[in-house]
Structure formats: structure tokens, C-alpha cells
Amino acid sequence: MIDRGRVRRYRTHVQQLDRESGTLADTAVLDLGAQETGPDGALWALAVRGVDTAAAEPDLVWLWTLRGAPHCYRRADLAEVAAAVAPWSDEDAAKRIFDAAKPLKAAGIPILEALDTVAGRMRDLVTAPMVKGDVSGGLNKILPEAYQRFCRSCDAVHLYEMPFRLAAVRAGLELEAHTSPPVLRPVPGFAVADSFADRLDPIRAYLHLCGPATGKEVAEYLDSPVKEVKARWPEDAVEVEIKTEDGPERRWILAGDEAALRGAEAHGTRLLGPYDLFLQVRDRATLVGDPVRAKALWPVLGRPGAILVDGRIAGLWRPRKSGKRFTVAVDPWRTLHGNERMAVAEQAERLAAFRGLALTGVDYSR
């Protein structure tokens, strides 16, 4: 039976949070996508995995993909990623677009057909870089009522958000990096690939990078129905038992990763961004068993980052910028000893340099 500590160490190692240097080609999280949310998003996720992001950025692409969130991928994988993240069926697509499915069904419009319709209109409309609001306004003029909703906060009619986001990659539109509001632009010569490499299969990638996991956890990560995930469950997934406070739990991992799981070790200290893949898993109790601490790490709004020490979360951190002062506020969950504090300080210096700032200091709450 595998204990939770070994699961955490396996994920730390397989997600390469214990290495000092790497390239885009060998950075595994790019197979599933590095989420771009907040200033310490995708590029910081790559930086803490040893990637020289300044040199690598031209070879990256940002897309709205899983859960409608912006993710970063290798540009060379773009066509295959578009195929890998596409909904598998009308039922899957309906789950992914939430309440937008109801009016489409009522109008007798199949969901995949609707996504293709939106994508076609977006492709015609966005022939040069275009701000999201202008794209939405243009679509509002040409798409029928079933595609649109009244937004009370704006007192205006908009296209439903999730069909808009999920159709963008089908239309061959990428996001200009670091733009707010988002700017979309066409990818020259884009076409969705007919197939994709196994490593880009989101089910396999989740089991590899975030396993062991259940079908329900994978489905929650993808926003897909459980039965759709189980219908595409990898033949080489093997069952393992995880030791929990409530007794053994059955989960699955790729057969090729089982030996690494059972012998997992991980060392090093990292300041993980709030939406780092390590923190995006759907079995949060594996990372944080204390409900109070879990609530602090994953609040509804304003998530902090996490301090990862040797494969275990040892506290929270938040950036503090005031004028030219940049500090990292640390809320440790246990006593951090001399070498550990030095490692946190080194990572804070790394974060400040990543942001193009000088570190003023590291402030501990206790």
C-alpha cells in the first residue's frame, strides 16, 4: 500500500520540481499545459522547473483549453494540442460549456456543431490581433439568440463565455501572452491535427503527472462526464491502493510509472504559483489533510502560493509590492530551520528576478 507522502514525492519528481535546469522539449507539464493565471503563472511554473523562460518564450503558445482556462504549450505541439483538448462528443461538450448548453439544445443545435459555428465566425472575424471584447461584440451581431445571454453586471448581451473560449482554439486563434484584456490573433496556416502523441492525451497526461488518480478526479480536471473519461481509460493503467485516514483507496496510474511511484524521492524547495499544476490536482486531501489549511491554500478568491519542501507543502507565500519595495510574505505551517529558510530566501530572490525586481526581504508571519 502506498502512503500519501510517497504520492506527493512522486508528483514532485515527475513534475520536475526537484530539478535545476531543463528545456521546453523535456518539460513534462507542457504536455498537459501550464495554466496562465496571475503574474506568477505559466512562465513561473516553467522557471521553477529550471527553464530559461526568457530564451524559451518565443517557442511557446498560449491557448484557452482545459476548463476554458488559458494554458501555455510548446508552439510545435499546437496542432496536436488542439486535437487533444477537443471535446469527445456532444455530451462531453455540453458538460464543458455548462449553462450555455441549455439554449442550444432547446434550439435543436448539437453542441459540437455550435462550437464549430462559433469557431468559423471567429476565424472570419479575427484576421489580425483583436481584443476579446471586440471579438465578442462582432460575434454578438452575427450569431443567433441561442448563442447569447444577457449579462446583468454589464447590462448587455454577450456570447456565452465557455463556447467563446473553447471555440477559439478550433478557430486557430492564440492568445497574445501577458495581455489584459486578452488579445486574440490568428495562427498562420493553422489546422487541427488528425491525431496526437500519447503524451498529449489529457487522460494519460493527468495519470502520469498527477496520479495515482480516479476516473472521477480526471473528469473533474477536464470538466468532462466520468463515463466519457472511463470510455477512453488507458489500457495500461494499473490499480494501486493508497493509504488514507479513512482506509485504503483505489486509484490508477500508468503501468510505466508504478515503479517510480513506489520508489519516489524528492528534494528541494520551491515557491509554487497559486495555479501550479502541483496544486491543481482534484484529490486535495493528498496534499493537505487539514481542512483549515486546505481552505487557506484554496480560498474562493485570492489564492496564495505554496512553499514546497522535499515534496511536502510547508506553508503559504504571497508577493508584496509597494513602490520599489518587493517582499515575499511567508506563512509557515511548521518551523522552517536554517537551511530551509535559506532555501526559501533563494527562491524569493529567484521570484524577484523573474519579475524584474530587487528583493527587499522575506517577511515571516511567525
Q: What is the DSSP string of 91-151?
A: HHHHHHTGGGHHHHHHTT--HHHHHHHHHHHHHHH-SS-EEHHHHHHHHHHHS-GGGEEEE
Domain 198-262: which CATH number of 3.40.50, 1.10.10, 1.20.120, 1.10.3470: 1.10.10
Burial class (CB in 10 A: 0-12, 13-18, 19+), 292: exposed
Burial class (CB in 10 A: 0-12, 13-18, 19+), 28: middle
Amino acid at 262: R
Q: How far out from the chain centre does Cα 76 lie?
A: 19
Q: Quote the strand ranges of the chain, DSSP E.
A: 2-3, 34-35, 60-64, 70-74, 130-131, 148-151, 156-159, 173-175, 183-186, 237-244, 247-254, 269-272, 305-309, 312-322, 325-332, 361-364
Q: Grid coordinates representing 322? A: 509597494
Domain positions in the chain are 19-186, 198-262, 269-364
Q: Which residues of 273-285 are buried (b: 16+ CB within 10 A; e: fewer)?
A: bbbbbbbbbebee
Q: Grid coordinates representing 358? A: 530587487
Report whether 331 contacts 315 (CB < 8 A).
Answer: yes
Report whether 322 contacts 354 (CB < 8 A).
Answer: no
Furthest-apart CA pair in the chain: how many Å? 65
d(CA 161, CA 170): 15
Residue-wise pLDDT tens for the chain (366 aa)? 899 999 999 999 999 999 999 999 999 999 999 999 998 999 999 999 999 999 999 999 999 999 999 999 999 999 999 999 999 999 999 999 999 999 999 999 999 999 999 999 999 999 999 999 999 999 999 999 999 988 777 777 889 999 999 999 999 999 999 999 999 999 999 999 999 999 999 999 999 999 999 999 999 999 999 999 999 999 999 999 999 888 899 999 999 999 999 999 999 999 999 999 999 999 999 999 999 999 999 999 999 999 999 999 999 999 999 888 999 999 999 999 999 999 999 999 999 999 999 999 999 987
User: What are the backbone dihedrals phi and psi of residue 333, each rounded to the nearest 5 degrees, phi first?
Assistant: -95, -5
User: Position of cell 501572452?
Assistant: 177
Q: List 150's β-bridge partners, or say none.
A: 157
d(CA 137, CA 157): 9
> What pLDDT score was predicted for residue 323?
84
User: Position of cell 503524451?
Assistant: 199
Q: In this structure, is the dihedral angle defined by the CA atoms of residues 353, 354, 356 and 360, taken in order, positive or negative?
A: negative
d(CA 282, CA 60): 26
Q: Grid coordinates representing 119? A: 469557431
